[in-house]
Chain A
Amino acid sequence: MTMPAKGFVRNFRPLEILTEEQMDSIHRGSLDVLEKTGVRFESQKALELFDKNGCRVDYETRRVRFPPGLVEECLRQCPSSFHLRARNPENDLNLSAGNTTYFCVFPGMRTVDLDTWLPRTPTVEDNHNAVKVLDSLENVHISVSYVPYCELEDVPPSMLLPTSCWSRMKYFTKPFRVGQAQESWIWGIKMAQALDIDVFAAFESAPPLTWYEDAIECAWAHAEAGFPIEVGCGAVLGGTGPVTFAGGLVASNAEMMSGIVLVQLLRPGLGTIANCFVFPQNMKTGAPGFGQIGISLFQSGYAQMWRSKYKLPTLLGACGPMAAKKPDAQFGYEKAIACSIGALSGGTIINAIGGLHGELTFHPTVAVMDNDMAGMIGRFLEGIEVNNETLAIDLIEKVGPIPGFFLGESHTREWWRQEQFLPTVFDQATVEEWEEQGKKSALENAKARVEEILANYEHTLPEDKEQELDAILEEAREYYRQKGLA
């Protein structure tokens, strides 16, 4: 086995906001909901599989009621750690419920103009360029399905996911997820097999308590192909879930567990990621409350339960899309608070890099700034080294009170790089230097880094592999054309 990418290793106990007793109450609540209320599955073959394995199935309402024993058993079957193979083995990941945190790309429907802040539909070329930037950022470890854009000029809806997947297969050398809409997984799995890499499935519930057929089919295909599955919940609390955080956890965890039961019945022991994309509702607009602090409360409780009680790796997605429309102070505090708390709470994958407003906009320049933020949080996770040398008692004795000074000591030269984290684009100048250099902001520095990355990007995919990918994309187009969808 190759060495997994390093990610950030947390060297202290995570932040835990729930007591054991509170976690048990939430856990029992979910089991109650699964046993008494049940979950709706829009798939005849899924209902039959549950029926065979001891669930109570109402075929008319398509509702499945789960015995608690089966749920607990399936949770236990999920491995608490598994490997994801990337195109570049240096970028392989080891996902676990342990102490390693990775940062992930967060997509947007469209790109945005950095002067007018108006969204615009990107081209396929824009998508390629954004993927190249993401591939080059040192603190981006993994990606989700639509990346980064969910709309592309001159591409019909059915071809969006296959095209997005093809773009990443070409230019993203790190692991990523395959989407669940319109059978797009067929091409995702084929391309992954062509490159001999791992992908993972999106299997996302339709809250409250419902699974649609696309999601089930995507999971089914991946389980059969032996690829890991991300099982996700995505309620808006006050709309598709209870408005209270505790109730939101009860319902969301019940959805998660019902999906996990299906996955583990399909392929016992298959790698499973617990994904959280839950928002409080913005009670004025009815939209998800992007950027709200409730995201952090929910994700912190979620990460605690899935890491410590169920021992699954987690993916925290609600820290990617913000209420702010441009990367301003509001955007900075919304994203940094959600990402910090997600990471402190032991989240395995923080899904945040590059997303701007809601799920509407993404920009590679934002990704470059987020990459610095991720590095800072990662440095925090690594914690403090305490030993004779870092305690520096002899040095303090030697330097003494004023006029003692530490700058000239060899200890300072030897240790400063290890103790500090240096961002790539954040302005670190003095005010005088900043004025002399034209008052450049972090955003301007980030724009320059995007250009530099694109000018120097090295395309590493062998030509024959590229042709195979192109042929699979052509096959997909033909498939949807025959169905009248492309």
Chain B
Amino acid sequence: MPVKGSARDFTPLWILSEEQVESIHRGSLDILEKTGIRFESERALDLLEQHGCLVDREQRRARIPPGLVEESLEKCPSLFRLKARSAEYDLSVGANTLYWAAFPGMRAIDIDTWETRVPTVEDNHNAVKVLASLDNVHLTPSYTPYCELEDVAPAMLLPTSCWSQMKYFRKPMRIGQAQESWIWGIKMAQVLDVDVFASMESAPPLTWYGDAIECAWACAEAGYPVEVGCGAVLGATGPVTLAGGLVSSNAEVMSGIVLVQLINPGTPILSNAFVFPQNMQTGAPGFGRIGISLFNVMYNQMWRGRYNIPTMFGSSGCGASKLIDYQLGYEKSIATVLTAVSGASIINYVGGLTGELSFHPALAVLDNDVAGMIGHFLEGVTVNHETLAVDLIEQVGPIPGFFLDKAHTREWWKQEQFIPQASDQLSHKEFEELGKKAALDYAKEKVDEILANYDHDLPADQEQELDNILEEAKAYYRQKGLA
């Protein structure tokens, strides 16, 4: 049986009318047919041309007929399985289940000075061990958790990150699309006999670079699922209006799906949104903005409601705040609640701090609690004779009636409540007596506890094979002058 995740027990929140959904859908088809998409890959253009697209070789633009788009969308399964190293961590992606993923950061951060620093490979291993041990982390994206590592050449970052996860994570993961890194990801996955999935992320507006296409191609051929993603900044690489941003982002994702379904029909697809409003003062993505939530909720409604394809979101995984403070708490949680109640399949959320700049394992422990809380909400309310408790209410009656000592309270409370692991739940008096510790202090203690007790369970021969593949990657990039 796969891990259960959080099963949503009510109709998702939808904010568009049927008519609005159709306007957006027709808009995307129009763009695909008339404007077209740029594919930086000769063999992708060949394949698209063979299947009826109008291809302009000079501009590398493919104009895609609506029929082919609709047909490709229909080929995507609405539910698929991801096999992990241990069957208890297998996932069944789609339907009404929500899974939580880590959110990466370029660097580590010092919690006292709030300065970032380049982490070591050891830091990466430790962070992966923490993520592996958290109940509400079910999978990870490619760079996990860090995207820079001390003494590691840029070409070796993704292979090293992947190798670190293969050793210590145990749960399903995505492999990266940069610099042929998928070669090593696929090899390592085959050694461990696990599933990975590809990252195929567009370069907005309306463009696919060769790396993304090759990564998807290799994974689709190897029989692995492909995450097809959009990532516009609305006002810069996409229209500033949320509706227009959705039209162009959906067109990008649809064009990627067409390609993948031509390469290997029936390949499972995750439709990924990483779209932000633009911060009009700084020109940066508007991390933490409410526009993220509006976009994600619409995206869920289109992809889950109309196209019936599982969705993945990363934009609620970080904030504008530079600290682990109130602002970060509300920025991440508002966006994540809204993304969850509107039907997301996967939310990349746990551990990300400022923009894509910083990650901290103690924050991952806090976020694990938030994921648990939101997951508990998704499971809804149980209504039956026993929970309605009409007989009990009759028995207890008005004051001085009391429910605490009743068997019903003992029997039901654990099921009705969710208990966070690292939040401060004390009275103010206890808080003062115990040294005024806040959630972040508890989270740091939990990180130490996890690392002290982490049980490394990868067989030595498999570990050796992973090390060999990493060595092979190093030799490969060295020959190219990249490592």
Contacts and interface: CB of A to CB of B under 8 A. Distances in A.
B440 A293 contact: no
B381 A392 contact: no
B210 interface: no
Given A404-B206, A441-B327, A395 B239 contact: yes
B405 to A, nearest CB: 10
Nearest to A442: B327
A457 B327 CA distance: 26
A455 interface: no
Interface stretch (A128-136, A140-148, A431-439, A478-486): A431-439
Contact of B425 (A17, A282, A373, A377): A282
B242 interface: yes
Interface stretch (A28-36, A49-57, A172-180, A195-203): A28-36
A329 B440 contact: yes
Interface stretch (B125-133, B214-222, B316-324): B316-324
B330 A332 contact: yes
Counting chain B CB atoms within 10 Å of each CB, which of A11, A291, A400 scores highest? A400
B393 A384 contact: no
Contacts of B386: 244
Given A17-B10, A431-B357, A246 B383 contact: yes
A378 to B, nearest CB: 9
A63 interface: yes
Contacts of A328: 324-326, 329, 438-440
A237 B235 CA distance: 48
Contacts of A397: 31, 34-35
B396 A384 contact: no
Interface residues of B, number: 125
Nearest to A344: B13
A59 to B, nearest CB: 14
Interface string A330-361: 11111111001100100000000000011011
A259 interface: no
A238 B413 contact: yes
Given A329-B324, A392-B239, A244 B412 contact: yes
B284 interface: yes
Contact of B241 (A238, A284, A294, A385): A385
A223 B383 CA distance: 36
Contacts of B325: 327-329, 332, 441-443
Contacts of A431: 116, 322, 354-355, 357
Contact of B383 (A18, A237, A254, A327): A18
A344 B417 contact: no
Contacts of B357: 431
Contact of B326 (A119, A323, A442): A442
A209 B397 CA distance: 7
Given A285-B426, A325-B424, A379-B290, A25 B383 contact: yes
Contacts of A335: 330
B206 A291 contact: no
A104 to B, nearest CB: 18
Contacts of A3: none
A300 B290 CA distance: 21
Contacts of A286: 404
Nearest to B205: A404
A323 B425 CA distance: 6
Contact of B418 (A209, A292, A416): A292
A113 B455 CA distance: 44
Contact of B388 (A25, A385, A404): A25
Nearest to B277: A420
B289 interface: yes
Given A239-B402, A282-B425, A406 B11 contact: no
B228 to A, nearest CB: 17
Per DSSP, chain B at the interface is: mixed
A429 B283 CA distance: 10
B248 to A, nearest CB: 5
B247 interface: yes
A242 interface: yes
Contacts of B36: 401
Given A291-B423, A393-B27, A240 B403 contact: yes
B308 interface: no
A297 B380 contact: yes
Nearest to A206: B399
Contacts of A419: 234, 240-242, 277, 291
B18 to A, nearest CB: 12
Given A39-B398, A344-B13, A443-B325, A33 B393 contact: yes
B330 A336 contact: yes
B383 to A, nearest CB: 4
A242 B320 contact: no
A369 interface: yes
Contacts of A301: 381
Contact of B417 (A37, A294, A384): A294
B427 interface: yes
Nearest to A324: B424
A108 B225 CA distance: 52
B427 A293 contact: no
B243 A390 contact: yes
B330 A384 contact: no
Contacts of A111: none
A240 B240 contact: no
B389 interface: yes
A416 B243 contact: no
Given A15-B13, A419-B240, 16 more contacts: A13-B14, A17-B9, A237-B403, A247-B393, A251-B389, A251-B393, A285-B426, A324-B439, A333-B332, A333-B366, A336-B330, A369-B327, A392-B241, A406-B235, A411-B244, A415-B241
8 contacts: A280-B416, A337-B337, A337-B373, A340-B337, A369-B326, A376-B290, A406-B236, A420-B280
Interface of A: 11-13, 15-18, 22, 25-26, 29, 32-33, 36-40, 63, 117-119, 206-210, 237-247, 250-251, 254, 280-287, 289, 291-294, 296-297, 300-301, 323-337, 340-341, 344, 357-358, 360-361, 369, 373, 376-377, 379-380, 383-387, 389-393, 395-397, 399-402, 404-407, 411-412, 415-416, 419-421, 426-431, 433-434, 439, 441-443
